[in-house]
């Protein structure tokens, strides 16, 4: 083929975010945008930027109505409503901590809103019949509509997703359209598509690289996470360990050494699942069938430990409907990986034989905990 529990901020931040006795003048209610209500014990400080260190430009009283333009990620705050790193940008350009805001509708991300103000014209090119537009960047996502060859498109940006072999190219890029749907870039003719803004940033400080391990050391380190993954999701430990060995090169790949990502699992629209702690954006190059290459970005999940990556591997397979039939063989490792492979997990025609050879050569079946 990517949440650790966050420590809640102390009372000092509560005072900074919603302190009493603010000297700045109250901020008036705003028109246009998402309607919201302030829920704070005393007064909520309005700031010039999404941070408790930013300058105070006004205050809002409890129960005051405001209008929100969009949201951004900033400093995490524990408030009366929730604990959140989201900050809401009001329609006057100022910011308040979402931890003290109640809304009746979702607040759009500011970066996404800015990106969607413009679009790139394109057209569908398909020799395979109609092309599906889906709710997400995967052939497993629900179909929103279908487009015929030559249909005009308004492309907003591109995201990484499931690889598709189409009429124009083979690509893992999916284009987000102006209606919010996604179409495989493999069937799109357009200019260069810019990457959609990442909703989850890469870690500010790179993780400490994992030291190289001998095969014996690698297997020993892998067993606890693989067995926990089987208990939680039903993926045979021997299968998980063998796949990790094959896909990460015994933990020597860049993804595994730096991000502890042993299966190449990507973030989807900024979502990194219950076991990863973020996303790491890598710049790559993709080429179409004519040999024309263009830059692209892929966001891969990052983990705090090998075990987290292994457990997420189980979660990924279990939550993907494509692999549902494999879970009839949770106590038959060979049939499990055969079914996963046949469902399209890997394009390598020898993937199954490679995985089972590793399982046999290193007697990984002994770690299958139901025995």
Query: Beta strand 83-90 with 43-47: parallel, antiparallel or unpaired?
Result: unpaired
CB atoms within 10 A of CB 143: 11
Please give the backbone phi and psi of residue 322, each rounded to the nearest 5 degrees, phi first: -55, -35
The pLDDT value recorded for residue 15 is 32
CA 160 vs CA 96, 125, 186, 309: distances in Å: 32, 20, 12, 20
Beta bridge partner(s), residue 299: 281
Percent of the chain with pLDDT over 90: 45
CATH of domain 11-108: 2.30.30.40
Q: What homologous superfamily is domain 115-190 in, according to CATH?
A: SH3 Domains (2.30.30.40)
Ranges of each domain in the chain = 11-108, 115-190, 215-367
CB atoms within 10 A of CB 328: 12
| Site of tokens 């983990």 | 303
Query: What is the average pLDDT value for the chain, to the nearest integer?
Result: 82
The pLDDT value recorded for residue 177 is 87
The pLDDT value recorded for residue 200 is 42
Q: What is the pLDDT of residues 184-196, one digit of tens each?
A: 999 999 999 888 7
DSSP 3-state of 215: helix
CA 43 vs CA 35, 99, 154: distances in Å: 19, 13, 44
What's the CA dihedral at 163, 169, 174, 177 to 10 degrees?
-160
**CATH top class, domain 215-367:** mainly alpha
CA 119 vs CA 113, 122, 191: distances in Å: 12, 9, 11
Q: What is the pLDDT of residues 20-44, one digit of tens each?
A: 333 333 333 333 578 889 999 889 9
Note whether 115-190 and 215-367 share their fold: no
> What residue ranges of the chain have pLDDT lower than 50?
1-31, 199-206
Please, are residues 78 and 14 in contact by the beta-carbon 8 Å criterion? yes
């Amino acid at each position: 083929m990517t949440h650790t529990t966050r420590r809640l901020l102390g009372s000092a931040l509560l005072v900074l975010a919603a302190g009493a006795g603010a000297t700045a003048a109250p901020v008036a209610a705003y028109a246009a945008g998402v309607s919201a209500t302030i829920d704070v014990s005393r007064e909520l400080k309005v700031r010039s930027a999404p941070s408790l260190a930013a300058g105070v430009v006004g205050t809002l009283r409890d129960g005051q109505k405001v209008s929100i333009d969009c949201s951004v990620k900033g400093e995490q705050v524990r408030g009366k409503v929730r604990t959140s790193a989201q900050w809401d940008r009001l329609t006057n350009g100022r910011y308040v901590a979402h931890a003290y805001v109640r809304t009746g509708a979702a607040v759009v991300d500011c970066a996404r809103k800015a990106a969607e103000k413009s679009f790139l014209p394109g057209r569908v090119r398909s020799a395979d019949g109609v092309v599906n537009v889906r709710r997400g960047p995967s052939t497993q996502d629900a179909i929103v509509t279908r487009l015929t060859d030559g249909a005009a498109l308004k492309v907003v940006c591109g995201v990484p997703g499931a690889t598709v072999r189409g009429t124009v190219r083979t690509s893992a890029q999916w284009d987000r359209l102006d209606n919010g749907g996604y179409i495989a870039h493999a069937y799109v003719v357009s200019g260069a598509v810019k990457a959609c803004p990442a909703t989850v940033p890469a870690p500010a400080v790179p993780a400490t690289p994992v030291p190289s391990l001998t095969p014996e050391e690698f297997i020993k380190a892998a067993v606890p996470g693989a067995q926990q993954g089987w208990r939680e999701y039903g993926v045979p430990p021997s299968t998980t360990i063998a796949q990790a060995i094959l896909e990460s090169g015994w933990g020597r790949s860049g993804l595994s050494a730096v991000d502890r990502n042993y299966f190449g699992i990507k973030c989807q629209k900024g979502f990194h699942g219950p076991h990863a702690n973020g996303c790491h954006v890598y710049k790559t190059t993709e080429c179409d069938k004519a040999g024309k290459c263009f830059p692209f970005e892929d966001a891969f999940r990052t983990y705090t430990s090998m075990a987290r990556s292994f457990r997420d591997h189980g979660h990924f397979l279990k939550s993907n409907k494509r692999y549902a039939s494999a879970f009839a063989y949770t106590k038959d490792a060979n049939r499990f990986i055969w079914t996963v492979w046949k469902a399209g997990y890997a394009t390598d025609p020898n993937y199954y034989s490679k995985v089972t050879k590793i399982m046999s050569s290193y007697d990984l079946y002994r770690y299958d905990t139901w025995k």
